[in-house]
Structure 1
Amino acid sequence: MRTFTFLILSVILFSHHSTQARKKPKTIKVLSYNIHYGLGMDSKTDLERIAGVIRRLDPDIVGLQEIGDSTMAAKLGALTHMKAVFGPSKESNSGYGDAVLSKLPFRYVGNESIPSASSSRYQAMCVDVDLSQIYGRGATVRFVNTHFDWLPSIGSEVARKGAVEVIEIAFFKDDAKRPAILTGDLNATPDSAPVKLLRKKGWVYENLNREIPTIPSDKPTEQIDYVMPRPAKRWRVVAVEVIPERVASDHLPVLMTLELIHNKR
């Protein structure tokens, strides 16, 4: 009788563990990386090195900042075997901008100039990424990638807060509650007014109870690079880490693993 009972309990426990294994959360990995045009801390420009970092991390979606032009964005897409789209600064004649790389299909929404006190080159770009192969039919995420003004002046601080408002009006005016992810070099620390304003708008800052400094890459002392999802009830932050790549760029990449919950809108 004891043997029979033991066998029954073993079957129940095995079944329970098998069910738990099947319920492993479905996640996506999102990377934010200011690549400094591929110029490393060793003064060498090497896009293959940047691509190697991205390939090793194996993200699903990447927001890249400081891209020289559309050719650079396309090359990085080819090197990483990901779909690429360039978001040019509308006010820059140099082709300067940002880029999004994705393993998943996406629709380009557009890009908007954002306020700046230091130059007229900054912008925010937006795509809608199809997550249906992970979360089922109809699952999408609005993905915004940006680079905020950099000066430590009052004017630039006001510009950074203004950039938050532009993103809200340009990309979320009709649906502020849709699942979204923001990546970017915000040139603002977690306790700054622009990041506090982003959080007020519903963007989630999560460092999982540890500091994650991103600059300078050789001896990082503060965080200005981010991956921020929203709304909070639609996402679970599974992991977040700063990747200790000290040479490829003057910034460290930030990698976040996210689980989309309650996937029906």
Structure 2
Amino acid sequence: MTTKVLVAGFTGAMGQKAVNLVNESDGFVLTAVFAAGLTSTTPADYDLPANVAVFSSLADIETDAEIWIDFTLPSAVYADTTFAIEHGIHPVIGTTGLTDDQETELQALSKEKGLGGIIAPNFGMSAVLLMKFAKEAAAYFPDVEIIEMHHGDKADAPSGTALSTAKLIDEVRPAHKQGNENETETLANVRGGDYNGIRIHAVRLPGYLAHEQVLFGGPGEALTIRQDSFDRSSFMTGVKVAIDKVSGLSELVIGLENVL
């Protein structure tokens, strides 16, 4: 049995990797692609087979795809995911930028439709394990800060991975004020973003791809957990896990670690 797949954001770097993954995976076939604002919908213009449908707007999409892989933009991902669920297509979402409220709404819609899906802030196995290990460490080291480093073109900050890491840590971290209570910032925002007392610092520089450090401090000791993604191909291992498992899910799952 062959599972039909649509890749949204197929013209981007991650979208191209996803297209290649589908083409190279037994049991899956690329049946459609989507990217907003295309000037052409001719498959040959994108080196795609003639039987792959090309769409340039959500309103035009008519497909029998069973899985929707999304690597688009933070501004588009909510509408994309809603469209997929409403049309009975299992979403596998790698685009970051969804708010907590949006994720809750999408989970409710997924439950209403009885359709499973996966939203993953990061498909890299090293990043998934970093989040898992950080949550375990936070029970023993409640004083923690996060530094995430990405390429200069990344649209959102902090990264979805860093924010998810903070949320996981917050589940087990005792509530308390860390640092100097009388701290003064002589340069606005120099201490980074604040998620329930967990500071997150976002770096954007050319030469980087996707990297994260979680720094824990305790009396007389420190622990650093770090992951580095040097090539976008590293994310495809997780995407493959997601497309293998998503059709068997009955709800929208947040975080790849929850289906491993």
Give the TM-score range, shorter chain. 0.3 to 0.5
TM-score (norm 1): 0.32
TM-score (norm 2): 0.33
